[in-house]
Structure 1
Amino acid sequence: MLKTTYLLCASLLSVALLAGCGSKEKEEEKKDEESVSALGAVSAMKEMAEQAEEMQKKGPVDAVDFRTLKELLPADVDGLARKEATGEKNGAAGMVISTANAKYANEDGSESIDLAIVDAGGTAMLMGLAAWSMVEIDKETEHGYEKTSTMGDYKSYEKYDNTDKDGEISVLVAKRFVVTAKGRGVSMDKIKAAVEDIDLSKLAGLK
């Protein structure tokens, strides 16, 4: 369990160290920025390792039945009708996760949103699903942005491409549930609305 987490942390550190690389002319300008990124990755790696150790001590908890998670998926999201809803429960080596998925789209399919609720059951697998919850991200380009933020009381991660109108948002609830909405051909407001249509407080209370 810890080995998987350390590998994830190592990958995170590598990404942070390489993120600032560019042309020689920009190296000096980005030197301080890279140092901050590296320090942030080291801090995140330490926190992830500590959380993995805590999870190992407590042991995994039973993941919520995916049928219960499916009940929280809305019938429609901001005018997009639900086309299908599925669920499953999988596990190995003592790590079990439950997942509920739903697909939403307009009549011609030009606008669509995929919504998912995952219960990692308090295992280290959560570190892979929500590694972004351990770091601070804030990037912006002429085409879009990527950042960590909050939705209500919960840590969130979002990114959006203004050109293609594609984006996603993920929310970590009660340190075990990850809610993700991925949209195509829609605004970020519409993608966020999909998550807001889920009763996150009720989800947080599930055991």
Structure 2
Amino acid sequence: MNVKSYVLLASLLPAALLTSCGSSAKEEEKKEEESVSAVGALGALKEMAAQAEDAQKNGPVETVDFRSLKELLPADADGLARKEATGEKNGAAGFAVSTATGKYANDDNSETIELEIIDAGGTGMLMGMAAWSVIEVDKETANGYEKTSKMGDYKSYEKYDNDSKAGEIAVLVNKRFIVSAEGRGVSMDKLKATIEEINLAKLGDLK
């Protein structure tokens, strides 16, 4: 799963503020909704600023060896066999990100899941990868939904399209690890079961 797509969620924050500033006096109900949205956006911006300040104050955190993350990848994703497992560590300017990726599918590839475990080291880079962790999203359409929620003790983000049976779910562990599953031809329950195959408590304890 390409968690960089979550950067788009960060754009919801300034957008909410701008929308609130340009609200029409003729629509009182709309003004109230926009005010609530702006308050939420301000809170999220403050949280992001606080985390960025902490990251700058504490300096870079050494990420775990990606091989340790690979060991946590399950042999199958709720019945789908693992076809590939890879890992890597990339970084620049003193910051690094470790990643392990598992790819799972049935025999004819009509059902596929990509599972990814990322250690962002608790740096400011985390906000670019998991902007959803400091905002609230709750949206429904005729074909699916998108929302932030909780999966056990962990903040989560999920999105699903009923027509294509395509979706994604991600959780944030210990303010540094992102575990995400993206699938096609599968249910959201199957994606959640795939996340549950990982020992998230053990992941959170890695150093």
Identity of aligned residues (%): 72
Which residue number in structure 1 is paired with residue 156 of structure 2? 156
In the alignment, what sits opposite 2:198?
Answer: 198
CA contact (8 A) 2:10 2:132 kept: no
| 1:32-84 CA-partner distances (Å, limit 9, x unpaired) | 22222222111101110011101111111110000110000001011100010
Contact 1:140 1:146 (C-alpha < 8 Å) held by counterparts = yes
What is the Cα deviation at residue 29 of structure 1?
A: 5.3
Tell me the amino acid that sits aligned with residue 76 of structure 2. D
Q: Provide the secondary structure at the position in 2 that maps to 1:181.
A: strand
5+ long unaligned stretches in structure 1: 1-6
Aligned residue number for residue 63 of structure 2: 63
In structure 1, how many angstroms separate the alpha carbons of the residues matched to 2:108 and 2:33? 45
- 1:151-188 CA distances to partner (integer Å, 9 max, x unpaired)? 11111111111111111001000000000000111100
Alignment map for 1:73-112 (pairs within 5 Å): 73-112=73-112
Report the 3-state secondary structure (helix = DSSP H, G, I; strand = E; otherwise coil) of the residue aligned with 2:203: helix
Structure 1 stretch displaced more, 36-45 or 75-84? 36-45
Q: Deviations over 1:179-203 (max 9, x none)?
A: 0000111100001111000000100
Report the Cα offset of residue 13 of structure 1.
2.3
1:91 is displaced (CA, Å) by 0.3
How far apart, in 1, do the equivalents of 2:9 and 2:49 lie?
8
Gaps of 5+ in 2: 1-6
Give the 3 Å change call, closer, same or farther, for CA 19–167 of structure 1 in structure 2.
Answer: farther
- Structure 1 pair 8–92 and aligned structure 2 pair: CA distance change class (3 A): farther
> TM-score, normalised to structure 1's length?
0.88
- Listed one character per residue, the Cα deviations across residues 62-120 of structure 1 (whole Å, up to 9, x for unaligned) are 10000110000001011100010111000001110000001101111011000000000
Q: Distance in 2 between matches of 1:183 and 1:130?
A: 19
Say whether 1:170 aligns with 2:170.
yes
Label 1:112 to 1:15 Cα distance change in 2 as closer, same or farther (>3 A): farther
Question: 1:117: which partner in 2?
Answer: 117
Tell me how far apart the structure 1 counterparts of residues 158 and 18 of structure 2 sit (CA, whole Å).
21
SS at match of 2:107: coil
Superposition RMSD on alpha carbons, in Å? 2.3
Q: State the partner residue of 2:184.
A: 184
Q: What is the rounded CA distance, in whole Å, between the counterparts of 1:75 and 1:163 in structure 2?
A: 29
Task: Give the letter aligned to residue 91 of structure 1.
Answer: G
Residue range with higher mean Cα deviation, 48-57 or 10-19: 10-19
Secondary structure, aligned partner of 1:110: coil
* Matching residue's letter, 1:160: Y
Paired residues in the alignment total 197
| Separation of aligned partners in 1, 2:31 and 2:164 | 32
Paired amino acid for 1:150: K
* C-alpha deviation, 1:12, in angstroms: 3.6
**What is the TM-score when the length of structure 2 is the normalising length?**
0.88
